[in-house]
């Protein structure tokens, strides 16, 4: 929708994002109709903006909303744009969430935008089109303790918008959702109940003008979803570099995108061309198990690796072939900007079982996009939609950010690594221990297979916009795994179920038992308990086909892994 010459209603225009949006739309030639309860503020703003009118409105009152739309029609004869921005936060834990507060915020954040949409639609239909932008929140894409009430209202707004978008497409009306993150406005001082929840965040709050730019971009393009930062500061979405494809039809895979062939192990041969060497690749959380396996795989393909890890000993990764190392924190924007600067591609590995993994993912995706990185490979997990598992929940949140980033991406979803079983140790102790039922089968994958795939896809545009489940073919319970280790090693190995608490004491630093657990420890313990509970009751399954197609050979079996470990 063209902004110049349009008639645009902006709710919540008396401060923050609404004020900035009204100014921006007016500066681009829109005749804005300003709505909010504080009449003096919107009247003062209307006096500054050419062609603007102020209509004092409580958007939770249907009659006042109807009057607002009538005033726009009287003044301009049409309504081209509706920005449903008025909203309020409700930041209290579930136990303290008062139904009256939730009802009030639902009225404002959900019912009012719905009513406003219903009121403008007859005119938009008659005109042959229009643009509706609903201002949601990034909190509706992640799970933040303490924000259930507020996030639930915004999640409801998301679905109203998405389904409304489908229903209204034929009338030429584009419904978009914009998801701001923490923004520097009065919002945090005018919550319905509770307190500002972004205190732990190290990133500066976004200026409301940045959200306004995103809202204007949504109006112009009609895109369905826009995270703020999208488009990046400084202008519209980056153009694809040569050889890259952009998503079409709301991010769907382009029709000509290369895909692995189906049927047998006939994909890319090991080491085949197609992942041209010579690029500088950033690997995050590089000192972990995945990173340490990935660095040599990238170097073998001729890439220069820049390794980022919070571990001050990250320099040791040079022994594995890393060309550059950065000791830095993914929660520190300066470190992340430094790490992405000048790289061709980013392989983002979240730190395993970290309560702030989603925040780190957001930081890396945002920085990579701003830096114009050509390709982002995200290490996720098989079945991230198993949201009761906290680590899956974090990975799913990052997947959503990657999908909304409008950067070329490849999402890798590896299964539980075989390397979680230390075969030498099992043989030494004569026991394979695990903190859940011995009869539940689990699928595994060899980390070396997974990182071989990551090195293969990272510079190959054929893998843009793909999500690959990476899973080995064995589906074995602990008794069967122990039998494999016993037969390969020739030493007795008994399976043994240990109490869940045992899993936490093993490997804990000495003296740690006396120290009070940190919040991070508590989160991790909760995440592990849920994981073991899920594994014990359901196991975890996956399919090896995609991994085989990508490798051009069958995935490594558990028996081969045991042989390699003991060899």
Ligand X SMILES: NC(=O)c1ccc[n+]([C@@H]2O[C@H](COP(=O)([O-])OP(=O)(O)OC[C@H]3O[C@@H](n4cnc5c(N)ncnc54)[C@H](OP(=O)(O)O)[C@@H]3O)[C@@H](O)[C@H]2O)c1
State yes or no: residue 108 binds ligand X (CB under 6 A): yes
Catalytic residue among 150, 179, 417, 535: 150
Tokens 């933040």 found at: 144
State yes or no: residue 140 binds ligand X (CB under 6 A): no
DSSP string, 381-443: -S-TT-TTSHHHHHHHHHHHHHHHS-S-EEEEEEPSBGGGS-HHHHHHHTEEEESS-TT--EE
For residues 190 and 202, the answer to whether their CB atoms sit within 8 Å is no
Burial label for 315, CB within 10 Å (0-12, 13-18, 19+), is middle
State yes or no: residue 182 binds ligand X (CB under 6 A): yes
State yes or no: residue 86 binds ligand X (CB under 6 A): yes
Using the Cα atoms of residue 145, residue 388, residue 369 and residue 89 in order, give the sign of their dihedral: negative
Binders of ligand X among residues 191 to 210 (CB under 6 A) are 208
Which lies closer to ligand X via its Cβ, residue 43 or residue 311? Answer: 43
Q: Select from 80-88, 122-130, 502-510, 549-557 the region that touches ligand X (CB under 6 A).
A: 80-88
Least Å from the CB of residue 41 to ligand X: 6
Record the tokens describing residue 400, joined without a space.
Answer: 């959503």
Q: How far is CA 133 from CA 117, 139, 157, 160, 491, in A?
A: 10, 17, 11, 12, 66
Map residues 22-51 to x or -, x wherever contact with ligand X holds by CB under 6 A.
Answer: --------------xxx-------------
State yes or no: residue 226 binds ligand X (CB under 6 A): no
- Taking residue 9's Cβ as centre, other Cβ atoms within 10 Å add up to 29
State yes or no: residue 88 binds ligand X (CB under 6 A): yes
State yes or no: residue 17 binds ligand X (CB under 6 A): yes
Which lies closer to ligand X via its Cβ, residue 88 or residue 115? Answer: 88
Q: What is the CA radius of gyration of the chain?
A: 26
Helices (H), 222-372: 289-300, 333-340, 357-370
State yes or no: residue 436 binds ligand X (CB under 6 A): no
For residues 485 and 432, the answer to whether their CB atoms sit within 8 Å is yes
Least Å from the CB of residue 407 to ligand X: 22
DSSP 8-state class, residue 380: -
Among 1, 9, 10, 18, binds ligand X (CB under 6 A): 18
State yes or no: residue 382 binds ligand X (CB under 6 A): no
Least Å from the CB of residue 61 to ligand X: 8
Size of the site for ligand X (CB under 6 A): 29
Distance CA 376, CA 41 (A): 44
Check if 150 is active-site: yes
State yes or no: residue 52 binds ligand X (CB under 6 A): no
> Which letter, b or e, does each residue of 10-32 get, where b requires 16 or more Cβ atoms within 10 Å of its Cβ?
bbbbbbbbbbbbbbbbbebebbb
State yes or no: residue 85 binds ligand X (CB under 6 A): yes
Q: Select from 11-19, 270-278, 442-450, 500-508 the region that touches ligand X (CB under 6 A).
A: 11-19
Least Å from the CB of residue 147 to ligand X: 10
State yes or no: residue 16 binds ligand X (CB under 6 A): yes
Distance CA 40, CA 59 (A): 17
State yes or no: residue 215 binds ligand X (CB under 6 A): no
Among 70, 167, 190, 276, binds ligand X (CB under 6 A): 190
Nearby residues of 59 by Cβ (< 8 Å), 6 or more positions away = 11, 12, 35, 65, 68, 86, 108, 112, 115, 116
State yes or no: residue 459 binds ligand X (CB under 6 A): no
Which lies closer to ligand X via its Cβ, residue 204 or residue 235? Answer: 204
* Active-site residue list: 150
- Site residues (CB under 6 A) for ligand X? 11-12, 14-18, 36-38, 57-60, 85-88, 108, 135, 137, 180, 182-183, 185-187, 190, 208
């Amino acid at each position: 929708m063209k902004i110049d010459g349009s008639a645009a209603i902006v709710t919540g225009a008396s401060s923050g994002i609404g004020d900035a949006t009204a100014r921006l739309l007016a500066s681009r030639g829109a005749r804005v109709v300003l709505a909010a309860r504080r009449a003096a503020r919107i009247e003062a703003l209307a006096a500054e903006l050419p062609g603007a009118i102020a209509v004092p409105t409580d958007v939770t009152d249907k009659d006042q909303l109807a009057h607002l739309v009538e005033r726009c029609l009287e003044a301009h004869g049409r309504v081209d744009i509706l920005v449903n921005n008025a909203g309020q936060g409700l930041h209290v834990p579930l136990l303290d969430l008062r139904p009256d507060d939730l009802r009030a915020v639902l009225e404002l954040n959900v019912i009012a935008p719905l009513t406003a949409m219903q009121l403008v639609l007859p005119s938009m239909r008659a005109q042959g089109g229009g643009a509706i932008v609903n201002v949601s929140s990034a909190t509706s894409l992640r799970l933040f303790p303490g924000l259930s009430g507020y996030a639930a209202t915004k999640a409801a707004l998301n679905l109203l918008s998405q389904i409304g978008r489908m229903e209204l497409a034929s009338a030429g009306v584009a419904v978009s959702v914009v998801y701001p993150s923490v923004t520097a406005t009065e919002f945090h001082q005018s919550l319905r109940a509770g307190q500002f929840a972004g205190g732990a965040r190290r990133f500066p709050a976004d200026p409301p003008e940045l959200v306004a730019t995103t809202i204007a971009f949504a109006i112009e393009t009609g895109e369905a979803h826009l995270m703020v930062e999208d488009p990046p500061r400084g202008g519209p979405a980056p153009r694809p570099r040569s050889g890259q494809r952009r998503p079409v039809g709301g991010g769907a895979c382009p029709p000509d995108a290369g895909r692995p062939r189906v049927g047998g192990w006939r994909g890319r041969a090991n080491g085949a061309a197609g992942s041209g060497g010579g690029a500088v690749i950033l690997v995050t959380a590089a000192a972990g198990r995945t990173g340490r396996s990935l660095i040599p795989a990238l170097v073998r393909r001729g890439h220069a690796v820049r390794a980022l890890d919070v571990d001050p000993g990250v320099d040791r990764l040079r022994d594995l072939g890393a060309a550059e190392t950065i000791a830095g924190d993914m929660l520190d924007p300066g470190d992340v900007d430094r790490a992405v600067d000048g790289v061709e591609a980013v392989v983002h590995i979240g730190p395993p079982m970290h309560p702030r993994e989603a925040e780190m993912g957001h930081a890396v995706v945002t920085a990579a996009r701003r830096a114009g990185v050509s390709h982002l490979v995200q290490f996720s997990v098989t079945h991230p939609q198993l949201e009761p598992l906290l680590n899956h929940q974090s990975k799913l949140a990052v997947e959503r950010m990657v999908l909304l980033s409008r950067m070329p991406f490849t999402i890798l979803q590896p299964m539980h690594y075989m390397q979680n079983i230390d075969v030498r140790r099992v043989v030494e102790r004569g026991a394979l221990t695990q903190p859940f039922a011995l009869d539940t089968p689990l699928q595994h994958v060899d980390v070396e297979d997974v990182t071989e795939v990551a090195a293969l896809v990272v510079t190959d545009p054929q893998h843009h916009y793909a999500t690959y489940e990476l899973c080995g073919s064995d589906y074995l319970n602990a008794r069967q795994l122990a039998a494999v280790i016993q037969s390969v090693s020739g030493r007795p190995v008994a399976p043994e179920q240990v109490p869940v608490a045992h899993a936490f004491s093993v490997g804990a630093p000495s003296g740690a038992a006396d120290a009070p657990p940190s919040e991070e420890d508590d989160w991790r313990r909760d995440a592990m308990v849920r994981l073991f509970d899920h594994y014990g009751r359901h196991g975890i399954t996956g399919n090896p086909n995609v991994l085989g197609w990508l490798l051009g050979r069958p995935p490594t079996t558990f028996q081969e892994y045991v042989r390699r470990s003991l060899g």
